[in-house]
Amino acid sequence: MPELPDITVYIDALETRILAQKLENVRIVSPFLLRSVEPPVSSAIGKTVAQLRRLGKRICIGLEDEIWLVLHLMIAGRLHWGKKGAKLSKQHLAAFDFANGSLLWTEAGSQKRASLYLAQGEAGLLEFDRGGLEVLDCRLEEFSKTLKSENHTLKRALTDPEWFSGIGNAYSDEILWEAKLSPLALTQKLSDAEIARLFEAVRKSLSEWIELLRRETGENFPKNVTAFRPEMAVHGKYKQACPRCGGKVQRIKYASNETNYCPTCQTGGKLLADRAFSRLLREDWPKTPEELEMRLGRRHSERRM
């Protein structure tokens, strides 16, 4: 799912293309995309784009008369810039046509999770605000207060939109690696020094990724927006070498997600229990990466015999 750095770069690209441009038409392909009734889509047509804004992981296009288009890409949604009136395929959800081109919205896969809402005025737009802190704008004291408000794992805390705005599965892995903290550390047990380190890691990681994506995109429209990038330290790097210590990156799998971390850098050399795997091994859950590798090697050898 595109997160704060990705959404920021999308908005950069949109500002140079549609700001002060008139929305001439909206073509909706997927019947599942539009989730609101009032104001109607027809009220947006013919209106000029006055501003763009990020709200969590949503892209908000502000039109004249305080009409807002609120786009949530979800996991597989992506935006593209094409020629005006570009033809749409089954993969397209919608197109927003301007005099200088069309903003195209696609979604891979069969599960249609992306959503489009229309809102009226600031009050209507704020209904989509989950209340999370804007981590690049807040102070350490605000960050610490939010972090200590309840006792959750750091992974959950960073990705909760009611706590922090715009951080998801991918960049939370990178932030925790940068901070040298376990994804399962509990928020209310962190020391002041650890919270300060996490705060700096959040700001450093997100700022650096925004700049990297901006350099990569240049004046083009963002392409290859993905949660798995070769420059990432641990996210999506299971069993690859940690760029800091050289140890093997490990993971915890849950539902359709996974958390990646370096045991050496973040957990004192201890493996974090993957529930599905630990149930399989029951009391024999390995305590170190080396022990896990030995056991997996034995299991592989036994299957080949």
The pLDDT profile of the chain, 305 residues, written as one tens digit per residue, is 899 999 999 999 999 999 999 999 999 999 899 999 999 999 999 999 999 999 999 999 999 999 999 999 999 999 999 999 999 998 999 999 999 999 999 999 888 899 999 999 999 999 999 999 999 999 999 999 999 999 999 999 999 999 999 999 999 999 999 999 999 999 999 999 999 999 999 999 999 999 999 999 999 999 989 999 999 999 999 999 999 999 999 999 876 788 999 999 999 999 998 765 566 555 556 667 666 666 655 654 554 44
The answer to whether residues 152 and 38 belong to one domain is: no
Q: Is residue 243 part of a domain?
A: no
CB neighbour list of residue 197: distance below 8 Å, 6 or more residues apart:
179, 180, 181
Q: Which of 126, 151, 179 is the last residue of a domain?
A: 126
Q: Please state, in angstroms and rounded to a whole number, the distance separating the CA atoms of residues 244 and 250.
A: 14
Give the model confidence (pLDDT) of 9-45 as tens digits: 999 999 999 999 999 999 999 989 999 999 999 999 9
Q: Taking Cα atoms as reference points, which of 236, 238, 224, 258 lies closest to residue 108?
A: 224
* pTM score of the predicted model: 0.91
The answer to whether residues 172 and 94 belong to one domain is: no
Residues 172/4, Cβ–Cβ less than 8 Å: no
The answer to whether residues 73 and 14 belong to one domain is: yes
Provide the domain count of the chain: 3
Domain that holds residue 42: 4-126
> Cis before residue 286, ω within 30 degrees of 0?
no
